[in-house]
Structure 1
Protein backbone atom coordinates (compact mmCIF):
# COMPACT_ATOMS: atom_id res chain seq x y z
CA UNK A 1 0.00 0.00 0.00
CA UNK A 2 2.76 2.43 0.93
CA UNK A 3 4.66 1.59 -2.23
CA UNK A 4 1.56 2.35 -4.27
CA UNK A 5 1.13 5.72 -2.57
CA UNK A 6 4.78 6.57 -3.14
CA UNK A 7 4.58 5.64 -6.81
CA UNK A 8 1.44 7.72 -7.23
CA UNK A 9 3.05 10.69 -5.53
CA UNK A 10 6.14 10.43 -7.73
CA UNK A 11 4.00 10.28 -10.88
CA UNK A 12 1.97 13.27 -9.74
CA UNK A 13 5.13 15.22 -8.99
CA UNK A 14 6.47 14.42 -12.44
CA UNK A 15 3.26 15.62 -14.06
CA UNK A 16 3.30 18.82 -12.00
CA UNK A 17 6.94 19.44 -12.94
CA UNK A 18 6.14 19.01 -16.62
CA UNK A 19 3.30 21.51 -16.33
CA UNK A 20 5.47 23.97 -14.45
CA UNK A 21 8.28 23.82 -16.99
CA UNK A 22 5.95 24.21 -19.98
CA UNK A 23 4.10 27.28 -18.76
CA UNK A 24 7.08 29.66 -18.61
CA UNK A 25 8.15 28.60 -22.13
CA UNK A 26 4.77 29.64 -23.49
CA UNK A 27 4.54 32.76 -21.39
CA UNK A 28 8.02 33.97 -22.36
CA UNK A 29 7.35 33.83 -26.10
CA UNK A 30 6.74 37.28 -27.54
CA UNK A 31 4.73 38.24 -30.60
CA UNK A 32 6.40 40.03 -33.48
CA UNK A 33 3.01 40.96 -34.90
CA UNK A 34 1.97 44.53 -34.11
CA UNK A 35 -0.98 46.76 -35.03
CA UNK A 36 1.12 48.11 -37.90
CA UNK A 37 2.01 44.67 -39.29
CA UNK A 38 0.57 43.91 -42.72
CA UNK A 39 -1.09 40.75 -43.98
CA UNK A 40 1.33 38.57 -45.94
CA UNK A 41 0.53 37.23 -49.39
CA UNK A 42 2.76 34.29 -50.40
CA UNK A 43 3.35 33.69 -54.12
CA UNK A 44 4.80 30.28 -55.02
CA UNK A 45 6.93 29.43 -58.05
CA UNK A 46 6.90 27.18 -61.10
CA UNK A 47 5.21 23.77 -60.47
CA UNK A 48 4.38 24.87 -56.90
CA UNK A 49 1.27 25.67 -54.90
CA UNK A 50 0.27 27.38 -51.69
CA UNK A 51 1.38 24.43 -49.59
CA UNK A 52 5.00 25.28 -50.38
CA UNK A 53 4.67 27.95 -47.69
CA UNK A 54 3.46 25.71 -44.86
CA UNK A 55 6.71 25.95 -42.87
CA UNK A 56 7.18 29.69 -43.28
CA UNK A 57 3.52 30.52 -42.72
CA UNK A 58 3.58 28.37 -39.60
CA UNK A 59 6.51 30.34 -38.27
CA UNK A 60 4.70 33.61 -38.93
CA UNK A 61 1.70 32.25 -37.05
CA UNK A 62 3.92 31.23 -34.12
CA UNK A 63 5.25 34.79 -34.11
CA UNK A 64 1.76 36.23 -33.74
CA UNK A 65 0.37 36.66 -37.24
CA UNK A 66 -3.29 35.55 -37.28
CA UNK A 67 -4.22 33.00 -39.94
CA UNK A 68 -6.45 35.63 -41.57
CA UNK A 69 -3.28 37.62 -42.34
CA UNK A 70 -1.39 34.73 -43.99
CA UNK A 71 -2.54 34.06 -47.56
CA UNK A 72 -0.92 30.97 -49.12
CA UNK A 73 -2.24 31.74 -52.59
CA UNK A 74 -2.32 29.14 -55.40
CA UNK A 75 -2.49 29.94 -59.10
CA UNK A 76 -2.05 28.21 -62.47
CA UNK A 77 1.73 28.22 -62.96
CA UNK A 78 1.47 27.21 -66.64
CA UNK A 79 0.06 30.58 -67.75
CA UNK A 80 1.88 33.79 -68.55
CA UNK A 81 3.20 35.65 -65.54
CA UNK A 82 1.30 38.68 -66.85
CA UNK A 83 -1.96 36.75 -66.50
CA UNK A 84 -0.98 35.63 -63.02
CA UNK A 85 -0.24 39.26 -62.13
CA UNK A 86 -3.80 40.24 -63.02
CA UNK A 87 -5.15 37.47 -60.79
CA UNK A 88 -2.72 38.51 -58.08
CA UNK A 89 -4.12 42.02 -58.24
CA UNK A 90 -7.58 40.66 -57.50
CA UNK A 91 -6.22 38.53 -54.66
CA UNK A 92 -4.52 41.54 -53.09
CA UNK A 93 -7.82 43.44 -53.18
CA UNK A 94 -9.59 40.47 -51.61
CA UNK A 95 -7.01 40.22 -48.82
CA UNK A 96 -7.15 43.94 -48.08
CA UNK A 97 -10.93 43.83 -47.90
CA UNK A 98 -10.94 40.74 -45.69
CA UNK A 99 -8.43 42.13 -43.19
CA UNK A 100 -9.21 45.85 -43.31
CA UNK A 101 -5.54 46.56 -43.97
CA UNK A 102 -4.37 49.33 -46.29
CA UNK A 103 -1.32 47.45 -47.63
CA UNK A 104 0.02 43.91 -47.90
CA UNK A 105 3.50 42.42 -47.83
CA UNK A 106 4.35 40.02 -50.67
CA UNK A 107 6.76 37.13 -50.10
CA UNK A 108 7.56 35.27 -53.32
CA UNK A 109 9.59 32.22 -54.24
CA UNK A 110 11.27 31.59 -57.56
CA UNK A 111 8.97 32.46 -60.51
CA UNK A 112 6.48 34.03 -58.10
CA UNK A 113 8.77 37.04 -58.03
CA UNK A 114 8.07 37.77 -61.70
CA UNK A 115 4.27 37.99 -61.59
CA UNK A 116 4.37 39.98 -58.37
CA UNK A 117 6.94 42.41 -59.80
CA UNK A 118 4.76 42.78 -62.90
CA UNK A 119 1.86 43.63 -60.61
CA UNK A 120 3.93 46.27 -58.85
CA UNK A 121 5.28 47.82 -62.03
CA UNK A 122 2.35 47.63 -64.43
CA UNK A 123 -0.89 47.14 -62.50
CA UNK A 124 -0.75 49.76 -59.75
CA UNK A 125 0.49 47.36 -57.12
CA UNK A 126 2.97 49.83 -55.74
CA UNK A 127 0.16 51.64 -53.94
CA UNK A 128 -1.01 48.45 -52.22
CA UNK A 129 2.27 46.79 -51.23
CA UNK A 130 4.56 47.88 -48.40
CA UNK A 131 7.32 45.27 -48.74
CA UNK A 132 8.18 42.82 -51.52
CA UNK A 133 10.44 39.80 -51.04
CA UNK A 134 12.02 37.50 -53.62
CA UNK A 135 13.50 34.17 -52.49
CA UNK A 136 15.57 32.64 -55.28
CA UNK A 137 13.80 34.61 -57.99
CA UNK A 138 14.90 34.37 -61.65
CA UNK A 139 14.69 38.14 -61.89
CA UNK A 140 17.15 38.26 -64.79
CA UNK A 141 16.44 34.78 -66.11
CA UNK A 142 17.85 31.29 -65.58
CA UNK A 143 19.25 28.69 -67.95
CA UNK A 144 17.08 26.08 -66.18
CA UNK A 145 14.16 27.49 -68.16
CA UNK A 146 15.70 26.34 -71.44
CA UNK A 147 14.35 22.84 -70.88
CA UNK A 148 10.66 23.62 -70.21
CA UNK A 149 8.09 25.06 -72.57
CA UNK A 150 5.09 26.40 -70.66
CA UNK A 151 4.45 30.06 -71.40
CA UNK A 152 5.48 30.99 -67.87
CA UNK A 153 8.72 29.04 -68.18
CA UNK A 154 9.80 30.54 -71.49
CA UNK A 155 9.34 33.95 -69.87
CA UNK A 156 12.03 32.96 -67.35
CA UNK A 157 14.64 32.38 -70.05
CA UNK A 158 17.62 34.71 -70.09
CA UNK A 159 16.95 37.45 -72.62
CA UNK A 160 13.20 36.83 -72.93
CA UNK A 161 11.07 39.73 -74.08
CA UNK A 162 9.05 39.42 -70.85
CA UNK A 163 12.12 39.96 -68.67
CA UNK A 164 13.50 42.69 -70.92
CA UNK A 165 10.29 44.66 -70.42
CA UNK A 166 10.03 43.88 -66.70
CA UNK A 167 13.62 44.98 -66.04
CA UNK A 168 13.58 48.06 -68.25
CA UNK A 169 14.10 51.34 -66.44
CA UNK A 170 13.80 51.17 -62.66
CA UNK A 171 13.97 47.57 -61.41
CA UNK A 172 12.41 48.51 -58.06
CA UNK A 173 9.83 51.18 -58.89
CA UNK A 174 7.49 53.03 -56.56
CA UNK A 175 7.20 53.19 -52.81
CA UNK A 176 7.47 49.49 -51.81
CA UNK A 177 10.58 48.23 -50.02
CA UNK A 178 12.30 45.52 -52.08
CA UNK A 179 14.51 42.69 -50.83
CA UNK A 180 15.95 39.52 -52.36
CA UNK A 181 17.65 36.44 -50.94
CA UNK A 182 19.92 34.24 -53.06
CA UNK A 183 21.90 31.10 -52.32
CA UNK A 184 25.32 30.20 -53.77
CA UNK A 185 24.15 26.56 -53.79
CA UNK A 186 20.89 27.16 -55.68
CA UNK A 187 21.22 25.00 -58.80
CA UNK A 188 17.87 26.10 -60.26
CA UNK A 189 18.71 29.78 -60.65
CA UNK A 190 21.72 30.14 -62.95
CA UNK A 191 23.56 32.43 -62.75
CA UNK A 192 23.26 33.26 -59.05
CA UNK A 193 23.48 36.95 -59.91
CA UNK A 194 20.06 36.74 -61.58
CA UNK A 195 18.28 37.19 -58.25
CA UNK A 196 19.64 40.57 -57.14
CA UNK A 197 17.84 43.74 -58.18
CA UNK A 198 19.14 47.27 -58.43
CA UNK A 199 17.60 49.28 -55.62
CA UNK A 200 16.77 46.25 -53.46
CA UNK A 201 18.40 44.92 -50.30
CA UNK A 202 20.11 41.80 -51.70
CA UNK A 203 21.16 39.11 -49.22
CA UNK A 204 23.38 36.08 -49.76
CA UNK A 205 22.26 33.08 -47.70
CA UNK A 206 24.12 30.05 -46.43
CA UNK A 207 24.51 27.07 -48.78
CA UNK A 208 20.81 26.33 -49.33
CA UNK A 209 18.97 24.50 -52.08
CA UNK A 210 16.34 26.29 -54.14
CA UNK A 211 13.51 24.87 -52.04
CA UNK A 212 15.60 25.14 -48.87
CA UNK A 213 15.07 28.90 -49.03
CA UNK A 214 11.45 28.22 -48.06
CA UNK A 215 12.22 26.38 -44.82
CA UNK A 216 15.48 27.85 -43.52
CA UNK A 217 14.98 29.41 -40.08
CA UNK A 218 17.55 32.17 -40.61
CA UNK A 219 16.02 33.25 -43.91
CA UNK A 220 12.60 33.29 -42.25
CA UNK A 221 13.78 35.51 -39.41
CA UNK A 222 15.43 37.91 -41.81
CA UNK A 223 12.32 38.09 -44.00
CA UNK A 224 10.06 38.58 -40.98
CA UNK A 225 12.20 41.41 -39.64
CA UNK A 226 12.45 43.07 -43.05
CA UNK A 227 8.74 43.17 -43.81
CA UNK A 228 7.89 44.09 -40.22
CA UNK A 229 10.32 47.01 -39.95
Structure 2
Protein backbone atom coordinates (compact mmCIF):
# COMPACT_ATOMS: atom_id res chain seq x y z
CA UNK A 1 0.00 0.00 0.00
CA UNK A 2 2.93 2.50 -0.26
CA UNK A 3 1.51 4.26 -3.33
CA UNK A 4 -1.84 4.61 -1.58
CA UNK A 5 -0.19 6.21 1.43
CA UNK A 6 1.94 8.61 -0.60
CA UNK A 7 -1.08 9.79 -2.59
CA UNK A 8 -3.05 10.33 0.61
CA UNK A 9 -0.22 12.37 2.09
CA UNK A 10 -0.03 14.38 -1.12
CA UNK A 11 -3.75 15.13 -0.96
CA UNK A 12 -3.49 16.31 2.61
CA UNK A 13 -0.51 18.45 1.68
CA UNK A 14 -2.37 20.06 -1.20
CA UNK A 15 -5.46 20.62 0.93
CA UNK A 16 -3.50 22.46 3.62
CA UNK A 17 -0.67 23.88 1.52
CA UNK A 18 -1.29 27.45 2.64
CA UNK A 19 -2.57 26.92 6.14
CA UNK A 20 0.46 25.13 7.50
CA UNK A 21 2.63 28.13 6.72
CA UNK A 22 0.57 30.59 8.75
CA UNK A 23 1.64 31.10 12.40
CA UNK A 24 -1.12 30.02 14.74
CA UNK A 25 -0.78 33.20 16.78
CA UNK A 26 -1.84 35.25 13.77
CA UNK A 27 -4.47 32.81 12.51
CA UNK A 28 -7.56 34.70 13.59
CA UNK A 29 -6.10 37.99 12.40
CA UNK A 30 -5.34 36.41 9.03
CA UNK A 31 -8.88 35.10 8.71
CA UNK A 32 -10.42 38.45 9.59
CA UNK A 33 -8.18 40.88 7.70
CA UNK A 34 -9.61 41.90 4.31
CA UNK A 35 -7.33 42.74 1.39
CA UNK A 36 -6.64 46.40 0.58
CA UNK A 37 -9.62 48.13 -0.99
CA UNK A 38 -12.21 45.65 0.27
CA UNK A 39 -15.07 45.65 2.77
CA UNK A 40 -15.96 49.33 2.97
CA UNK A 41 -19.62 48.82 3.76
CA UNK A 42 -20.27 52.53 3.29
CA UNK A 43 -19.36 52.18 -0.41
CA UNK A 44 -22.21 52.94 -2.81
CA UNK A 45 -22.01 51.50 -6.33
CA UNK A 46 -21.79 54.01 -9.16
CA UNK A 47 -23.84 54.08 -12.34
CA UNK A 48 -20.74 52.89 -14.19
CA UNK A 49 -20.29 49.91 -11.85
CA UNK A 50 -23.70 49.16 -10.33
CA UNK A 51 -22.86 45.67 -9.05
CA UNK A 52 -20.66 45.23 -5.97
CA UNK A 53 -17.85 42.72 -6.57
CA UNK A 54 -17.56 39.83 -4.11
CA UNK A 55 -14.21 38.00 -4.09
CA UNK A 56 -14.29 34.30 -3.15
CA UNK A 57 -10.93 32.75 -2.22
CA UNK A 58 -9.64 29.24 -2.85
CA UNK A 59 -8.93 26.22 -0.70
CA UNK A 60 -6.65 26.83 2.26
CA UNK A 61 -6.45 30.58 1.71
CA UNK A 62 -7.95 33.62 3.39
CA UNK A 63 -9.42 36.68 1.75
CA UNK A 64 -6.32 38.74 2.53
CA UNK A 65 -3.91 36.16 1.11
CA UNK A 66 -5.86 35.45 -2.04
CA UNK A 67 -6.89 38.94 -3.07
CA UNK A 68 -4.03 41.23 -2.07
CA UNK A 69 -3.29 41.94 -5.73
CA UNK A 70 -6.68 42.14 -7.44
CA UNK A 71 -8.76 43.82 -4.74
CA UNK A 72 -6.99 47.21 -4.72
CA UNK A 73 -6.95 47.25 -8.54
CA UNK A 74 -10.72 46.84 -8.62
CA UNK A 75 -11.23 49.48 -5.94
CA UNK A 76 -9.03 51.90 -7.88
CA UNK A 77 -11.32 51.40 -10.88
CA UNK A 78 -14.31 52.51 -8.85
CA UNK A 79 -15.84 49.19 -7.83
CA UNK A 80 -17.29 48.50 -4.41
CA UNK A 81 -15.21 45.46 -3.47
CA UNK A 82 -16.03 42.92 -0.79
CA UNK A 83 -14.33 39.73 0.34
CA UNK A 84 -14.90 37.06 2.96
CA UNK A 85 -13.03 34.17 4.49
CA UNK A 86 -15.38 31.21 4.55
CA UNK A 87 -15.23 27.60 5.61
CA UNK A 88 -12.63 27.76 8.40
CA UNK A 89 -12.42 24.97 10.97
CA UNK A 90 -11.88 26.04 14.62
CA UNK A 91 -9.46 23.14 15.01
CA UNK A 92 -7.29 24.53 12.21
CA UNK A 93 -7.78 28.30 12.50
CA UNK A 94 -5.30 29.22 9.80
CA UNK A 95 -7.09 28.46 6.55
CA UNK A 96 -10.45 28.88 4.88
CA UNK A 97 -12.48 26.61 2.65
CA UNK A 98 -11.73 23.40 4.53
CA UNK A 99 -15.20 22.47 5.77
CA UNK A 100 -17.71 20.70 3.49
CA UNK A 101 -19.12 22.71 0.60
CA UNK A 102 -22.67 22.38 1.96
CA UNK A 103 -21.56 24.26 5.09
CA UNK A 104 -19.48 26.93 3.35
CA UNK A 105 -22.13 27.87 0.79
CA UNK A 106 -24.57 29.36 3.35
CA UNK A 107 -21.73 31.54 4.65
CA UNK A 108 -21.33 33.00 1.17
CA UNK A 109 -25.08 33.50 0.93
CA UNK A 110 -25.24 35.38 4.23
CA UNK A 111 -22.30 37.57 3.19
CA UNK A 112 -23.86 38.44 -0.17
CA UNK A 113 -27.11 39.34 1.59
CA UNK A 114 -25.16 41.66 3.88
CA UNK A 115 -23.44 43.30 0.89
CA UNK A 116 -26.72 43.80 -0.96
CA UNK A 117 -28.38 45.28 2.12
CA UNK A 118 -25.50 47.70 2.73
CA UNK A 119 -25.05 48.83 -0.87
CA UNK A 120 -28.74 48.79 -1.89
CA UNK A 121 -27.67 46.95 -5.05
CA UNK A 122 -29.90 44.42 -6.80
CA UNK A 123 -27.15 41.93 -7.61
CA UNK A 124 -23.46 41.27 -7.10
CA UNK A 125 -20.71 40.10 -9.42
CA UNK A 126 -18.60 37.19 -8.18
CA UNK A 127 -14.89 36.70 -8.81
CA UNK A 128 -13.68 33.31 -7.62
CA UNK A 129 -10.38 31.46 -7.58
CA UNK A 130 -9.96 27.69 -7.28
CA UNK A 131 -12.51 26.52 -4.67
CA UNK A 132 -14.04 29.96 -5.11
CA UNK A 133 -15.24 28.76 -8.53
CA UNK A 134 -16.65 25.51 -7.12
CA UNK A 135 -18.33 26.21 -3.78
CA UNK A 136 -20.41 29.17 -5.06
CA UNK A 137 -21.92 26.88 -7.70
CA UNK A 138 -23.65 25.00 -4.90
CA UNK A 139 -25.05 28.27 -3.54
CA UNK A 140 -26.17 29.36 -7.01
CA UNK A 141 -27.82 26.06 -7.90
CA UNK A 142 -29.29 24.84 -4.62
CA UNK A 143 -29.55 27.78 -2.19
CA UNK A 144 -31.18 30.47 -4.31
CA UNK A 145 -28.03 32.41 -5.13
CA UNK A 146 -28.65 32.66 -8.88
CA UNK A 147 -31.16 35.49 -8.48
CA UNK A 148 -28.53 37.58 -6.68
CA UNK A 149 -25.64 37.27 -9.15
CA UNK A 150 -25.14 39.01 -12.47
CA UNK A 151 -21.63 38.02 -13.57
CA UNK A 152 -19.35 35.27 -12.33
CA UNK A 153 -15.66 35.31 -13.24
CA UNK A 154 -13.87 32.04 -12.47
CA UNK A 155 -10.06 31.81 -12.22
CA UNK A 156 -8.62 28.25 -12.44
CA UNK A 157 -12.10 26.71 -12.24
CA UNK A 158 -12.81 22.99 -11.74
CA UNK A 159 -16.42 22.32 -12.64
CA UNK A 160 -15.67 18.67 -13.46
CA UNK A 161 -13.45 18.20 -10.42
CA UNK A 162 -9.82 17.12 -10.51
CA UNK A 163 -7.86 13.93 -10.92
CA UNK A 164 -4.88 15.44 -9.09
CA UNK A 165 -2.10 12.84 -8.68
CA UNK A 166 -4.50 10.20 -9.98
CA UNK A 167 -6.48 10.40 -6.74
CA UNK A 168 -9.88 10.12 -8.42
CA UNK A 169 -8.80 6.89 -10.11
CA UNK A 170 -7.22 5.74 -6.86
CA UNK A 171 -10.51 6.37 -5.05
CA UNK A 172 -12.39 4.30 -7.62
CA UNK A 173 -9.85 1.49 -7.29
CA UNK A 174 -10.12 1.72 -3.52
CA UNK A 175 -13.87 1.32 -3.73
CA UNK A 176 -13.38 -2.02 -5.44
CA UNK A 177 -11.21 -3.04 -2.48
CA UNK A 178 -13.54 -1.56 0.11
CA UNK A 179 -10.96 0.90 1.48
CA UNK A 180 -12.11 4.22 -0.01
CA UNK A 181 -14.47 5.11 2.89
CA UNK A 182 -11.57 4.72 5.31
CA UNK A 183 -9.34 6.97 3.23
CA UNK A 184 -12.00 9.61 2.68
CA UNK A 185 -12.86 9.65 6.37
CA UNK A 186 -9.20 10.16 7.22
CA UNK A 187 -8.87 13.04 4.77
CA UNK A 188 -12.19 14.45 5.94
CA UNK A 189 -10.85 14.67 9.47
CA UNK A 190 -8.49 17.40 8.25
CA UNK A 191 -10.35 18.84 5.28
CA UNK A 192 -14.04 18.20 4.81
CA UNK A 193 -14.10 19.71 1.33
CA UNK A 194 -10.99 18.06 -0.16
CA UNK A 195 -12.53 14.80 -1.34
CA UNK A 196 -15.46 16.75 -2.81
CA UNK A 197 -13.16 18.20 -5.49
CA UNK A 198 -12.23 14.80 -6.90
CA UNK A 199 -13.68 14.03 -10.33
CA UNK A 200 -16.74 11.83 -10.01
CA UNK A 201 -17.47 12.77 -6.39
CA UNK A 202 -21.07 13.15 -5.26
CA UNK A 203 -20.54 16.91 -5.05
CA UNK A 204 -19.19 17.12 -8.61
CA UNK A 205 -22.18 15.09 -9.79
CA UNK A 206 -24.58 17.41 -7.94
CA UNK A 207 -23.03 20.55 -9.41
CA UNK A 208 -23.19 19.10 -12.92
CA UNK A 209 -26.77 17.94 -12.72
CA UNK A 210 -28.46 19.72 -15.60
CA UNK A 211 -25.12 21.31 -16.48
CA UNK A 212 -22.85 23.36 -14.20
CA UNK A 213 -23.79 26.75 -15.67
CA UNK A 214 -26.82 28.25 -13.94
CA UNK A 215 -29.30 30.15 -16.12
CA UNK A 216 -29.34 33.91 -15.67
CA UNK A 217 -25.68 34.20 -14.63
CA UNK A 218 -23.04 35.35 -17.13
CA UNK A 219 -19.91 33.21 -16.71
CA UNK A 220 -16.34 33.97 -17.68
CA UNK A 221 -13.76 31.25 -17.09
CA UNK A 222 -9.96 31.62 -17.09
CA UNK A 223 -8.27 28.20 -17.08
CA UNK A 224 -4.50 27.86 -17.53
CA UNK A 225 -2.79 25.02 -19.37
CA UNK A 226 -0.11 25.04 -16.66
CA UNK A 227 -2.54 24.27 -13.85
CA UNK A 228 -0.83 21.65 -11.71
CA UNK A 229 -3.81 21.28 -9.36
CA UNK A 230 -6.83 21.19 -11.67
CA UNK A 231 -6.17 18.04 -13.72
CA UNK A 232 -7.00 18.23 -16.53
CA UNK A 233 -7.23 22.00 -16.85
CA UNK A 234 -10.15 21.52 -19.25
CA UNK A 235 -12.25 20.73 -16.17
CA UNK A 236 -12.65 24.49 -15.96
CA UNK A 237 -14.15 24.98 -19.42
CA UNK A 238 -17.89 25.63 -19.52
CA UNK A 239 -19.81 24.63 -22.63
CA UNK A 240 -22.89 26.77 -22.18
CA UNK A 241 -24.53 29.67 -24.06
CA UNK A 242 -24.06 31.95 -21.05
CA UNK A 243 -20.34 31.20 -20.68
CA UNK A 244 -17.20 32.66 -22.25
CA UNK A 245 -13.95 30.73 -21.85
CA UNK A 246 -10.53 32.39 -21.99
CA UNK A 247 -7.74 29.82 -21.77
CA UNK A 248 -4.91 32.00 -20.50
CA UNK A 249 -2.33 30.85 -23.06
CA UNK A 250 -4.78 31.50 -25.92
CA UNK A 251 -4.83 35.12 -24.79
CA UNK A 252 -1.09 35.43 -24.12
CA UNK A 253 0.98 32.43 -25.30
CA UNK A 254 3.97 33.61 -23.27
CA UNK A 255 2.04 33.65 -19.98
CA UNK A 256 3.05 30.59 -17.97
CA UNK A 257 1.05 31.28 -14.81
CA UNK A 258 -0.05 28.13 -13.01
CA UNK A 259 -2.83 27.61 -10.48
CA UNK A 260 -1.68 29.91 -7.67
CA UNK A 261 -0.08 32.55 -9.89
CA UNK A 262 -3.34 33.40 -11.67
CA UNK A 263 -4.46 35.42 -8.64
CA UNK A 264 -1.47 37.74 -9.14
CA UNK A 265 -1.29 37.83 -12.93
CA UNK A 266 -1.76 41.20 -14.71
CA UNK A 267 -3.13 39.46 -17.81
CA UNK A 268 -5.75 37.66 -15.72
CA UNK A 269 -6.61 40.98 -14.07
CA UNK A 270 -7.26 42.53 -17.49
CA UNK A 271 -9.55 39.65 -18.43
CA UNK A 272 -11.42 40.15 -15.15
CA UNK A 273 -11.82 43.89 -15.82
CA UNK A 274 -13.23 43.21 -19.29
CA UNK A 275 -15.61 40.55 -17.99
CA UNK A 276 -16.95 42.87 -15.30
CA UNK A 277 -17.45 45.73 -17.77
CA UNK A 278 -17.76 44.27 -21.28
CA UNK A 279 -19.17 47.51 -22.67
CA UNK A 280 -15.77 49.12 -22.09
CA UNK A 281 -13.54 46.12 -22.75
CA UNK A 282 -9.99 46.82 -23.88
CA UNK A 283 -7.49 44.71 -25.78
CA UNK A 284 -5.48 42.60 -23.34
CA UNK A 285 -1.80 43.51 -23.29
CA UNK A 286 0.79 40.76 -23.00
CA UNK A 287 3.63 43.27 -22.66
CA UNK A 288 6.04 42.78 -19.80
CA UNK A 289 5.66 39.01 -19.54
CA UNK A 290 9.02 37.21 -19.54
CA UNK A 291 9.77 35.46 -22.87
CA UNK A 292 10.77 32.21 -21.16
CA UNK A 293 10.40 28.68 -22.40
CA UNK A 294 7.81 26.79 -20.38
CA UNK A 295 7.96 23.25 -19.06
CA UNK A 296 5.45 20.79 -20.44
CA UNK A 297 1.92 21.71 -19.31
CA UNK A 298 0.58 19.53 -16.52
CA UNK A 299 -2.88 20.00 -15.34
CA UNK A 300 -4.49 19.75 -11.50
CA UNK A 301 -7.90 21.42 -7.84
CA UNK A 302 -7.66 22.89 -4.70
CA UNK A 303 -4.95 24.93 -3.16
CA UNK A 304 -5.27 28.55 -3.39
CA UNK A 305 -3.46 31.77 -3.61
CA UNK A 306 -1.46 33.35 -0.83
CA UNK A 307 -0.03 36.84 -0.94
CA UNK A 308 3.12 37.72 -2.86
CA UNK A 309 4.89 38.30 0.43
CA UNK A 310 5.08 34.69 1.57
CA UNK A 311 3.44 31.32 1.97
CA UNK A 312 3.73 27.99 0.27
CA UNK A 313 2.02 29.21 -2.87
CA UNK A 314 4.52 32.03 -3.24
CA UNK A 315 7.42 29.61 -2.90
CA UNK A 316 5.72 27.37 -5.43
CA UNK A 317 5.50 30.27 -7.88
CA UNK A 318 9.22 30.95 -7.36
CA UNK A 319 10.01 27.29 -8.00
CA UNK A 320 7.88 27.42 -11.14
CA UNK A 321 9.85 30.38 -12.46
CA UNK A 322 13.12 28.68 -11.54
CA UNK A 323 12.07 25.57 -13.43
CA UNK A 324 11.30 27.66 -16.49
CA UNK A 325 14.76 29.26 -16.32
CA UNK A 326 16.45 25.86 -16.00
CA UNK A 327 14.40 24.56 -18.89
CA UNK A 328 15.44 27.53 -21.01
CA UNK A 329 19.09 27.00 -20.05
CA UNK A 330 18.96 23.33 -21.01
CA UNK A 331 17.45 24.21 -24.39
CA UNK A 332 20.21 26.76 -24.96
CA UNK A 333 22.91 24.26 -23.94
CA UNK A 334 21.55 21.60 -26.27
CA UNK A 335 21.44 24.10 -29.15
CA UNK A 336 25.07 25.09 -28.52
CA UNK A 337 26.19 21.45 -28.48
CA UNK A 338 24.31 20.78 -31.70
CA UNK A 339 26.06 23.67 -33.43
CA UNK A 340 29.45 22.41 -32.24
CA UNK A 341 28.73 18.92 -33.55
CA UNK A 342 27.62 20.36 -36.88
CA UNK A 343 30.83 22.41 -37.20
CA UNK A 344 32.95 19.41 -36.22
CA UNK A 345 31.23 17.35 -38.92
Deviation of residue 90 (structure 1)? Answer: 0.7
- Equivalent position SS for 1:64: coil
Q: Which residue of 2 aligns with 1:153?
A: 194
Q: Is it true that 1:170 corresponds to 2:211 in the alignment?
A: yes
Hey, what's the Cα distance between the residues in 1 that align with 2:141 and 2:236?
17
Retained in 2: the 8 A contact 1:86–1:119?
yes
2:73 to 56, 59, 62: 59
Is residue 235 of structure 2 the alignment partner of residue 203 of structure 1? no
Aligned match for 1:228, one of 255, 270, 277: 277
2:121 alignment partner, SS class:
coil
Counterpart check, 1:45 vs 2:88: no
Q: For residues 98 and 69 of structure 2, what CA distance do their matches in structure 1 show?
A: 24
Deviations along 1:28-68, one digit per CA (max 9) or x if unpaired, are xxxxx851421111111110110110100011122122xxx
Counterpart contact for 2:159–2:212, Cα < 8 Å: no
Picking from 234, 252, 255, the partner of 1:193 is 234
Between the aligned partners of 1:165 and 1:72, the Cα distance in structure 2 is 26
Does structure 2 retain, via aligned residues, the 8 Å contact 1:183–1:204?
yes
Runs of 4+ in 1 over 4 A off after TM superposition: none
Shift of the alpha carbon at 1:184? Answer: 0.8
Question: Does residue 47 of structure 2 align to residue 35 of structure 1?
Answer: yes
Query: What SS does structure 2 have at the residue aligned with 1:111?
Result: helix
| 8 Å CA contact 1:80, 1:152 repeated in 2 | yes
Give, in whole Å, the separation in 2 of the partners of 1:219 and 1:34: 24
**What's the secondary structure of 1:41's corresponding residue?**
strand
2:86 is the alignment partner of 1:72: no
Q: CA-atom RMSD, angstroms?
A: 1.7
| Conservation of the 8 A alpha-carbon contact between 2:229 and 2:259 | yes
Cα shift at 1:228: 2.1
Contact 1:171 1:198 in 2 (8 A): no
Alignment partner, residue 264 of structure 2: 215
Q: Which whole-Å CA distance do the structure 2 matches of 1:59 and 1:125 have between them? A: 26
1:93-147 CA-partner distances (Å, limit 9, x unpaired): 0000111111000100001111111111111111100001111122111123839
Whether the aligned pair in 1 keeps the contact of 2:58 and 2:132 (CA below 8 Å) is yes
Larger Rg: 1
SS of residue matched to 1:178: strand
Say if 2:132 is the partner of 1:89: no
CA contact (8 A) 1:44 1:74 kept: yes
In 1: Cα distance, 2:69 partner to 2:140 partner = 26
Cα distance in 1 for partners of 2:78, 2:260 equals: 25
Deviations 1:10-35 (Å, cap 9, x if unpaired)? xxxxxxxxxxxxxxxxxxxxxxx851
1:71–1:99 distance in 2 versus 1, CA, 3 Å: same
Matched, 1:111 2:131: yes
